[in-house]
Amino acid sequence: MTRPRSIFEELRSIFDESFSEYETETTTRQPPERPRKYAAIVRNGIVEIIDLEELERQGKKDPEKKATNNLEYILAPLDEIFLEPELKDGIISAFSIPQLLHGAEPEISGAILHGPPGTGKTVLLRAINEVYDRAGAYSEEVSLAAMNSKYVGEFAQNIDNKIARALKEAKRRGKPSFLSFDEASSLAEQSNLGAESVSKHYQETMDVMKKYVGNERMIVLGITTNSNPRTFDHALTREGRLRTFNIDYPDEEQRQNMWSYFLKKHVNIELTAEEAKSLAETTPKEQGAFIDEFCRTYVGMRTAGILKERGYTLFDALKKNITVPREEVMSSVTPTQILTDLNNYVEGRHKNGRKSIAGYER
């Protein structure tokens, strides 16, 4: 069996061919052609050599297709966000994604995402961060723990510095900047709700937020919290400032979409609507994090299942260097087998008294 060539060998081969052509041309005193430009990429473990000039010519021939592919790349992180279409569109609008893509000034300053734990608020905020990053804009996930200080006023100053830097980057790049604050109730709630010392600690921070939100259009903010929206400071949530969205647990249709998407992504298997419905009905209390993790680890789970059928624990198999070829594992993966393994897994977790992946039971 022929050993596959390494990236270095592929590049060396291209260089040798180019040099050979150049040497032949120069010996006949013909002017050499301009060397072509190539790039080597690894896709699915296979080395591919890309002709950059040809790629550029194709882009010039079909600029609309090139632009479409670029937009698909930028927006790809949102493919893994499963919400009601109207809610998802509202969030995309609040975070000024259309303005980001079309080079316009944001009309809304961002949003506060609230709801019970484990509903995907953090995942959603990170997806928005990545969209901004892929679009060439400045984005940052701000850690409140790193920003906080026991000294009154320093927390506010740290937040001010973060926003000021984001504004500077927005002007430099010509695109709005995005800052996200996860589990940041202190940035959204009325400062007079806590103890007196806490109120003083956060009052200046709230003043900083009010200074920028709604007044500096090139900065977009995202905040997640488990707090009740009735506690939010009205100065931040009135028209034209931060919109609020309740992110709740996924319903059956959303869970169906999650099973179809993540099994295709991680296991490369297509489900029918009925098969996805069966999986969704088996996991009525689970969130997206559980479904994603189950699909991501399923091939390993199926491998362990085959070993168990042959009388081996995973530990014994590792000690004896007993393996199951991936082709054999994948040939055993069917929607029916996945449903069986899921039922066994859920039943086992319930027997062990384990909570959901997010650690929260409805």
Supply the mean pLDDT for the chain.
79
**Alpha carbons 198 and 152: distance in angstroms, whole number:** 9
Higher-pLDDT residue of 271 and 3 is: 271
Q: What's the sign of the alpha-carbon dihedral 345, 347, 350, 356?
A: positive
Reduce the DSSP state of residue 195 to 3 states and report it: coil
Question: With 60 as the cut, is the pLDDT of residue 129 above it?
Answer: yes
Give the Cβ contact number of residue 118 at 10 Å: 22
**Per-residue pLDDT at 128:** 96
How does pLDDT run across 80-94, given as a tens digit for each residue?
A: 999 999 999 999 999
**Per-residue pLDDT at 52:** 58
- Name the β-bridge partners of 113: 224, 245
Q: What's the sign of the alpha-carbon dihedral 133, 135, 138, 143?
A: negative
- State mean pLDDT over 164-176: 93
How does pLDDT run across 34-59, given as a tens digit for each residue?
A: 556 565 544 444 555 556 565 555 54
Percent of the chain whose pLDDT exceeds 70:
71
- Name the β-bridge partners of 181: 142, 223
Strands 38-43 and 46-51: antiparallel
Distance of CA 64 to the CA centre of its chain: 26
**Alpha carbons 102 and 114: distance in angstroms, whole number:** 28
**Per-residue pLDDT at 311:** 93
Q: What backbone phi and psi angles, to 5 degrees, belong to 257?
A: -65, -35
The tokens for 87 are 């809610």
- Reported as a pLDDT band with limits 50, 70 and 90, residue 118 is confident
260-264: list long-range contacts, CB under 8 Å, 24+ apart. 261/79, 261/80, 261/82, 262/291, 262/292, 262/294, 262/295, 262/296, 263/295, 263/298, 263/338
Please give the helix or strand (H or E) that residue 256 lies within, else none: helix 252-266
How does pLDDT run across 244-257, given as a tens digit for each residue?
A: 899 998 999 999 99
**Alpha carbons 84 and 99: distance in angstroms, whole number:** 22
Reduce the DSSP state of residue 49 to 3 states and report it: strand
**Per-residue pLDDT at 208:** 81
Amino acid at 111: A
**Per-residue pLDDT at 15:** 47
Higher-pLDDT residue of 32 and 263 is: 263
The tokens for 272 are 């029918």
The tokens for 4 are 């596959």
Higher-pLDDT residue of 138 and 357 is: 138
Predicted TM-score (pTM) of this structure? 0.70
The answer to whether 141 and 166 have CB atoms below 8 angstroms apart is no
Domain ranges of the chain: 7-61, 78-246, 252-351
CATH homologous superfamily of 78-246: P-loop containing nucleotide triphosphate hydrolases (3.40.50.300)
